[in-house]
């Protein structure tokens, strides 16, 4: 069996969800916290094959086999160990290391660095309990962190001494160059001498996915420090964009946290949330990276990002969305929880306890809602120009999503939201106009039969309404693929123009019977009825109808679908407004009827020149 560095195999498996790998070969369905399916090794009727993403393993009770994803590929596809590793590395986008003397040496050197870092943690922990660690212990007490919590998280103290840690290691025979490679020492520019990288700081050990110390974060205990938080530099064992603080404990916590994992901004926030019973992690002073998001999605399909409710919090949410959008899908998304302005999770928990955080989480928003709210906050919705800016941003956000199904779902959802906002603006504008026209006027007129007739057609049966309906039906004849794309909308259309309604009915009938009809075939079907052919020819030649780009034959599919859906929503809105107007006219006083009717039809008021 080929030999690979343990770190490589750990990294390889950490980048892949067991359910994703095995689900490529075996049909499995979600069952609680696991995935279940029929055994791929034995014939059976009752599922006894399980995949657990937390353990990165499969269990087949039918055959008695179990193991990780490598063992699964070896058993299911009869692959050798190297062949299975090669396949997984290809899926994870990693290069397989070769067993060369250089690789063996590199792995050995990394083991030495991790041993040094583990010893450094012991040094810092002892310093926290010594008299010199009083400032750090006072700080923890003020933040509500007791001794047990400090021990649980391995907290420590870096003495206020330029060479305390250096002397400790030199006394043990560890060379300075090793301490430099571990990120524990720094070099002075003026004389190339070395000194401790952390001084007078509360120390947070940072672990890899196997729970090994690979770096430190230090919180300054002096107001004179240049940086409030300081992290280890990147080393051979530490790459901050690939690590999340408290990930190992969060994985354990998730079993009792409804599978929910929270992403906060700092060490103390993660510590406070964990102590309150939540599964919580934090990036290391930067925005979430793609690799950190993949780590989170391995644990849960929808991690919850916790941000302050101020401008900085919204900016952090924006950055997270920009990184995540290309990879969002129905099976991996994000949730967002915004805290009261000026409060972080630690503040909230100390003031209101666990319940206060639970209430925030109950109000968490999904990615769609967050994208929408951020766009509204940036542009506003008071004017048509602002709403157009919102729509432009939403289109750009949606186009960034790679998954076609999810992208189309977002597109439709935002279309509906914009449509509703425009309807609200329209209704508000009409109400303002009505109020202005009623002010100071006394109109003596009743609703005439002629106006009742026009109003009863909902503004969609007159010339303008017929043109709107004609555009819908002619474009569907010219682009039959619209039916498969907007079947629900097409089936719900009700036309006021009788001739167009008959044409529409027959078009829908033919498309239901023959979904693969193209435009030429559909028109051939309609030509069998002279009345329908006449209606089609009349409206397809109408100059007003032809001005709409989506009606023409030679238009891009994307443009046709976009504009047809807009035309559909406008027609539905007009129909709805007309129905409201009739109801209002039936129940209002004679004076109000007259004014309401004139307003709905856009007619000038009596005695007023407009």
What are 535-559's pLDDT values in tens digits? 999 998 888 888 888 888 888 887 8
**The pLDDT of residue 575 is above 50:** yes
Instruction: Say what the pLDDT of residue 428 is.
Output: 65
Task: Please determine, for residue 102, whether its predicted confidence score (pLDDT) is greater than 90.
Answer: no
Residue 439: band (very low, low, confident or very high) from pLDDT cuts 50, 70, 90: very low
pLDDT at 340: 86
What pLDDT is attached to residue 605? Answer: 41
Mean pLDDT confidence for 208-236: 91
| Residue 606, pLDDT score | 41
Question: How confident is the model over 381-404, as pLDDT tens digits?
Answer: 877 788 888 989 999 999 999 999
Give the Cα separation of 502 and 482 in Å (integer). Answer: 19
Partners of residue 433 on adjacent β-strands: none
Q: Is the CA virtual torsion 296, 302, 308, 310 positive or negative?
A: positive
Stretch 147-166: mean pLDDT? 94
Q: What is the model's pLDDT at position 604?
A: 41
Predicted confidence at residue 427, as pLDDT, reads 63
For domain 6-92, the question of CATH label 3.90.580.10 is answered with yes
Most confident of 58-62, 100-104, 494-498: 58-62
pLDDT (mean) for 47-58: 88
State both tokens at 344.
């972080």
Return the residue matching tokens 């007023």.
608
**What pLDDT sits at residue 177?**
94
The span from the CA of 594 to the CA of 553, in Å, is 44
587 pLDDT above the threshold of 60: no
Distance, in Å, from the CA atom of 156 to the CA atom of 218, rounded to the nearest integer, reads: 9
Q: Provide the pLDDT for residue 266.
A: 86
Q: Which residue has the higher pLDDT, 7 or 354?
A: 354
Determine the distance from the C-alpha atom of residue 422 to the mean position of all C-alpha atoms in its chain, rounded to a whole number: 25
More confident residue, 2 or 453: 2
Residue whose entry in the numeric block shows the structure tokens 């919590």: 149
For CA atoms 365, 367, 372, 374, give the dihedral sign: positive
From residue 512, alpha-carbon distances to 489, 507, 517, 541 in Å are: 14, 9, 10, 26
Helices within 193-275 (DSSP H only): 247-253, 267-275
Q: Give me the pLDDT at residue 99, please.
A: 66
Model confidence band, residue 368 (pLDDT cutoffs 50, 70, 90): very high
pLDDT at 582 over 60: no
Q: Which of 43-47, 179-183, 439-443, 560-564 has the lowest mean pLDDT?
A: 439-443
Contacts of range 310-315, beta carbons closer than 8 Å, 24 or more positions apart = 310/341, 310/342, 313/338, 313/339, 314/338, 314/374, 314/377
Residue boundaries of the structural domains of the chain: 6-92, 101-238, 240-439, 449-601
Report the pLDDT value the prediction gives residue 2, as an integer from 0 to 100.
Answer: 59
Spatial CA neighbour of 14 closest among 242, 235, 205: 242
> What pLDDT does residue 125 have?
96
Helix-, strand-, coil-residue percentages of the chain, each rounded to 5: 55, 10, 30
User: Is 60 exceeded by the pLDDT of residue 377?
Assistant: yes
**Rounded average pLDDT over 109-125:** 95
CA dist 152 and 561 (Å) reads 57
Q: Provide the pLDDT for residue 459.
A: 39
Local structure of residue 187 (DSSP, 8 states): E
Lowest-confidence region among 131-145, 266-280, 424-438: 424-438
What is the DSSP annotation of 91-120? HHT-PPPP--HHHHHHHHHHHHHHHHHHHH
Residue 4: pLDDT band with limits 50, 70, 90: confident
What pLDDT, on the 0 to 100 scale, is given for residue 598? Answer: 40
Task: Write out the CATH class of domain 240-439.
Answer: alpha beta
Least confident of 66-75, 257-266, 576-585: 576-585
- Give the pLDDT band (50/70/90) at residue 483: confident
Is a pLDDT exceeding 60 seen at residue 589?
no
* Interatomic CA distance for residues 545 and 555, integer angstroms: 15
CA 167 vs CA 50, 128, 195, 393: distances in Å: 53, 17, 10, 57
Class of domain 449-601: mainly alpha
Question: Closest Cα partner for 478 from 529, 513, 517?
Answer: 517
pLDDT score recorded for residue 220: 95
Say what the pLDDT of residue 248 is. 86
pLDDT of 593 above 50: no
Q: Which CATH class is domain 101-238?
A: alpha beta
pLDDT in tens, 299-339: 888 999 998 777 777 888 888 899 999 999 988 899 999 88
């Amino acid at each position: 069996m080929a030999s690979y560095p343990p770190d490589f195999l750990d990294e390889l498996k950490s980048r892949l969800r067991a359910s994703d790998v095995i689900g490529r070969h075996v049909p499995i369905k979600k069952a609680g916290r696991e995935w279940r399916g029929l055994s791929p090794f034995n014939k059976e009727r009752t599922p006894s094959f399980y995949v657990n993403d937390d353990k990165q393993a499969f269990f087949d009770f039918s055959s008695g086999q179990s193991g990780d994803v490598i063992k699964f590929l070896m058993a299911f596809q009869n692959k050798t160990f190297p062949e299975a590793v090669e396949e997984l590395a290809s899926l994870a986008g990693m290069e397989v290391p070769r067993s060369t003397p250089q690789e063996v040496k590199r792995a050995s050197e990394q083991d030495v660095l991790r041993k040094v870092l583990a010893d450094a943690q012991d040094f810092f922990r002892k310093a926290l309990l010594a008299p010199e660690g009083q400032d750090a212990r006072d700080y923890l007490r003020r933040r509500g962190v007791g001794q047990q919590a400090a021990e649980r998280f391995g907290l420590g103290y870096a003495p206020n001494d330029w060479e305390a840690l250096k002397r400790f290691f030199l006394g043990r025979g560890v060379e300075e160059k090793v301490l430099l490679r571990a990120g524990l020492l720094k070099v002075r520019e003026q004389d190339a001498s070395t000194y401790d990288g952390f001084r007078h700081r509360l120390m947070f050990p940072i672990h890899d996915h196997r729970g090994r110390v690979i770096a430190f974060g230090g919180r300054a205990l002096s107001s004179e420090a240049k940086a409030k938080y300081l992290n280890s530099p990147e080393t051979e064992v530490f790459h901050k964009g690939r690590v999340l603080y408290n990930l190992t404990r969060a994985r354990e916590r998730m079993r009792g946290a409804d599978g929910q994992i929270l992403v906060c901004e700092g060490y103390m926030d993660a510590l406070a949330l964990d102590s309150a019973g939540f599964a919580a992690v934090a990036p290391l002073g930067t925005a979430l990276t793609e690799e950190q998001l993949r780590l989170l999605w391995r644990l849960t399909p929808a991690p919850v990002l916790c941000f302050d409710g101020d401008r900085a919090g919204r900016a952090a949410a924006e950055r997270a969305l920009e990184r995540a959008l290309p990879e969002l899908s129905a099976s991996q998304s994000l949730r967002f929880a915004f805290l009261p302005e000026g409060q972080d999770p630690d503040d909230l928990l100390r003031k209101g306890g666990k319940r206060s955080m639970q209430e925030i989480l109950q109000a968490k928003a999904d990615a769609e809602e967050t994208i929408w709210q951020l766009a509204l906050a940036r542009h506003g919705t008071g004017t048509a120009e602002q709403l157009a800016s919102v729509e432009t941003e939403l289109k750009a956000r949606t186009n960034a999503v790679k998954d076609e199904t999810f992208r189309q779902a977002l597109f439709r959802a935002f279309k509906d939201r914009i449509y509703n906002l425009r309807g609200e603006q329209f209704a508000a504008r009409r109400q303002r106009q009505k109020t202005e026209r009623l002010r100071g006027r006394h109109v003596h007129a009743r609703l005439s039969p002629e106006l009742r007739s026009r109003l009863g057609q909902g503004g969609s049966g007159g010339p303008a309404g017929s043109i709107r309906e004609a555009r819908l039906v002619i474009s569907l004849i010219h682009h039959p693929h619209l039916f498969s794309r907007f079947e629900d909308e097409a089936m719900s259309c009700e036309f006021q123009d009788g001739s167009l309604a008959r044409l529409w009915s027959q078009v829908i009938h033919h498309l239901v019977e023959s979904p693969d009809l193209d435009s030429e075939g559909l028109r051939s079907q309609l030509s069998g009825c002279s009345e329908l052919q006449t209606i089609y020819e009349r409206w397809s030649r109408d100059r007003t109808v032809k001005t709409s780009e989506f009606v023409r034959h030679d238009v891009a599919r994307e443009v046709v679908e976009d504009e047809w859906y807009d035309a559909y929503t406008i027609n539905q809105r007009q129909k709805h407004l007309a129905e409201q107007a009739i109801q209002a006219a039936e129940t209002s006083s004679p004076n109000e009827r007259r004014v309401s009717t004139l307003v709905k039809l856009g007619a000038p008021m009596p005695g007023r020149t407009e």
